[in-house]
Amino acid sequence: MDLSQFAAQTFQHGLEMNASDSEAATGVSTASLAAEPGRELEIKFKTDAAGLKLALRSELLSTGAADAPSRTLRSVYFDTPAGDLRKQRMVLRVRTIRASHVIGLKWAGPLADGPFSRGEIEVRAPGLDPDIALFDAEIAGEVSRIIDGRPLEQKFETRIRRRVRQLDLGRAQVEVAFDDGFIIAGDRKQPLTEVELELKGGEEGPLYELALQVAAALPLRLDMMSKAERGFMLAAGDRPMPVRAAALRYPEEATLDDAVEIVTASALGQFAANWPALTETRDPESIHQMRVALRRLRSALAFFNRALPCAEFELFRGEAKRIASAFGPARNWDAFLDLVEKGPLTHHPRDESFTALLTAAEDRRLAAYAIAQGVIADPATTRFVLNLRAFVARRAWRSGLSGAELPRLTEPAKRFAAETLERLHKRALKRGRGLLEMPPEERHQLRIALKNLRYAAEFFSVLFGGGAKSRPYIRAVAQLQDGLGAYNDEASAAQLLQDLDAAAGSQVAKASGVILGWCGRGAVIGDANLGKAWKSFKRTRLFWR
């Protein structure tokens, strides 16, 4: 059993519980997912000393609860010299609380479980030795397989002063942890000040409602990085990496109701997973993946709204579009610089005009990234993530359905997927007629149709066997989409050059002319390749039939 199966089995209980909620289609009231053994559901905010004081005094985070005595927690994190556990997104630690020790294992679940959910198992330990034999046989066996006899060594530790409150919110019990301390890796030290909200029992909804109130009332910022992630980066000198969409998993006999939850949560999970890379690195791939996640989300919500009309689907689509639009300028400048550096610059490496143009373009790129990072810091984006996660947790799309529409919830996901793919494929064929003679706007509309088709194919391919069966079709759509994307980048370059010409004038005139000529030549070559890609797309086998 590999790690993906291990994680999938551990999280499967939650999927099965949610699948059983489809009984709501016949009139049974909706039940939210409760906290489960082996599953940690935690929302974390980062702050500073002043923010922590305000949080401690806040009525939102007390509601009559008395503070437990503060504790000093020392947690030592272990991995092999090559970081084998980290590569599998697993964390092994031994925590010391007063004179007792606890060995814990955490692992990231599928993106469809959301940005706040992880697997977690803890057992008592006699000391600081990370003895994996203390776990049950299945888990110990999986960890042993991953480390494969290699020694475990200390990578870093955290020393935290923690104050805890237990809140009874009626339908949920939430633990609030106020943490202040350091991550220590060798001679490096990083301060850490956080407020964590963890569901200890009951429904998910009240946890998200509390988090929304906290985000609105206190100077706290939603944080998508765990202490372990920060510690490993400090120890290794790493930086957060962009995260691509992961393959989806569905329960057996998945319904349309299940598909709405799994697909929506996965797109949201990918969006949230890329926050750290964008906010801390300005990695071009991070903003690309965030835009991809938002486009996937918007496409999915449109598919589902067609079958299960729900006003909130449209509200979330609008918010996703607003956020993605704010990321657009940064992505455009990334694409422009990539085009110049891999194309015309290779023939003019020391030209002063190109140097001036690249300097001006980089200034604009950094300004666009500052705007994008501001969008992540905006409380409205935190509200978007928490509201959408709460919407998914309570399967709120059910509430607006009429009696005649309710049976669609229990419709097989495979049937809905086939209908959706067939409709989108026909739309793409219709919009692609006369492709090489199309004006730019019509090519753009075809590109949008192909994006929606590709996302649907990626969402649902596993329902039809996935793998080798669906790969040729997805590849054909992607090649056609990429060809249209290159055409779009070349068309956008002309607009960006106008901006640079207006600002830098004669300094960039020569480089600007060379780039325009390069793009014109590229358009001719691109059209030839585009024609081949279109023919390939039309003759590729449809995997859902």
- Give residue-wise pLDDT tens across range 104-147: 999 987 777 778 999 999 999 999 999 999 999 999 999 999 99
Condensed to tens digits (0 to 9), the pLDDT of residues 427-469 reads: 999 999 999 899 988 999 999 999 999 999 999 999 999 889 9
Does residue 11 lie in a domain region? no
Q: What share of the chain is helix, strand, coil (3-state, %, to 5)?
A: 60, 15, 20
CATH number at residue 106: 2.40.320.10
User: What's the rounded mean pLDDT across residues 202-208?
Assistant: 94
SS3 157: strand
Q: Are residues 404 and 271 in the same domain?
A: yes
DSSP per-residue string spanning 159-188: EEEEEEEEEE-SSEEEEEEEEEEEEEETTE
Residue 80 in this model has a pLDDT that exceeds 80: yes
Q: Is the confidence at residue 19, as pLDDT, over 70?
A: no
pLDDT at 161: 96
Q: Burial, 179: exposed, middle or buried (Cβ in 10 Å; 0-12, 13-18, 19+)?
A: buried
pLDDT at 6: 46
In this structure, the answer to whether residues 381 and 419 fall within a common structural domain is no
Whether residue 353 is found in the same domain as residue 396: yes
**SS3 readout for 44-66:** EEECCHHHHHHHHHCHHHCCCCC
Q: What is the pLDDT of residue 476?
A: 97
Residues 404 and 416 in one domain: no
- Does a structural domain hold residue 9? no
> Of 362, 378, 411, which residue sits at a domain end?
411
Burial of 8 by CB count in 10 Å (0-12 exposed, 13-18 middle, 19+ buried)? Answer: middle
SS3 411: coil
Angstrom distance (rounded) from CA 445 to CA 64: 56
Band (pLDDT 50/70/90 cuts) for residue 191 is very high
The confidence score (pLDDT) of residue 35 equals 46
Percent of the chain having pLDDT more than 90?
79
Pair 307, 260: CB distance under 8 Å: no
pLDDT at residue 64, as a whole number? 65
The number of angstroms, rounded, from the C-alpha of 345 to the middle of its chain's C-alpha atoms is 34
CB 436 within 8 A of CB 526: no
Residue of higher predicted confidence among 108 and 49: 49
- The range of the structural domain enclosing residue 284 comes to 255-411
Tokens at 451, concatenated: 């994006």
Is residue 377 in a domain? Answer: yes
| pLDDT of 109 | 78
Same-domain check for residues 453 and 485: yes
**Residue after which a domain boundary falls, among 376, 396, 411:** 411
Nearest-angstrom CA–CA distance, 276 and 242: 8
Whether residues 220 and 282 fall in one domain = no
Mean pLDDT of the chain, nearest integer: 90
Q: Which of 213, 238, 263 is the last residue of a domain?
A: 238
Please tell me whether the overall predicted TM-score, pTM, comes out greater than 0.75 for this model.
yes
Based on the fold, state whether residues 281 and 193 are members of the same structural domain: no
**What total of structural domains would you count in the chain?**
3
Please write the tens of the pLDDT for every residue from 223-258: 999 999 999 999 999 999 999 998 899 999 999 999
- Same domain as 154, residue 66: yes
| In a domain? residue 261 | yes
pLDDT at residue 350 in the model: 86
Please report the sign of the dihedral spanned by the C-alpha atoms of residue 311, residue 312, residue 315, residue 316.
negative
Task: Identify whether 53 is part of a domain.
Answer: yes
Q: Which region holds residue 395: left if phi is over 0, alpha if psi is between -120 and 50, else beta? A: left
Amino acid (one-letter) located at 424: L
Same domain for 72 and 129, yes or no, is yes
Are residue 171 and residue 222 in the same domain, yes or no?
yes
Query: What's the chain's length in residues?
Result: 545
Tell me whether residue 371 is in a domain: yes
453 within some domain: yes
Lowest pLDDT segment from 243-247, 285-289, 296-300: 243-247
Q: Do residues 408 and 307 lie in contact, with contact meaning Cβ atoms separated by under 8 Å?
A: yes
Would residue 272 count as lying in a domain?
yes
The answer to which of 27-31, 183-187, 514-518 has the lowest mean pLDDT is: 27-31
Q: How many CB atoms lie within 10 A of CB 343?
A: 17
318 and 368 housed in the same domain = yes
- The pLDDT of residue 489: 84
Q: Tens digits of per-residue pLDDT, 382-437?
A: 999 999 999 999 999 999 898 888 999 999 999 999 999 999 999 999 999 999 89
Based on the domain organization, do 405 and 429 belong to the same domain?
no
For residue 482, pLDDT beyond 80: yes
Q: What CATH number is associated with residue 443?
A: 1.40.20.10
Query: pLDDT per residue over 302-322, tens digit each?
Result: 999 999 999 999 999 999 999
The pLDDT of residue 407 = 93
Which residue carries 């455009």 as its tokens? 332
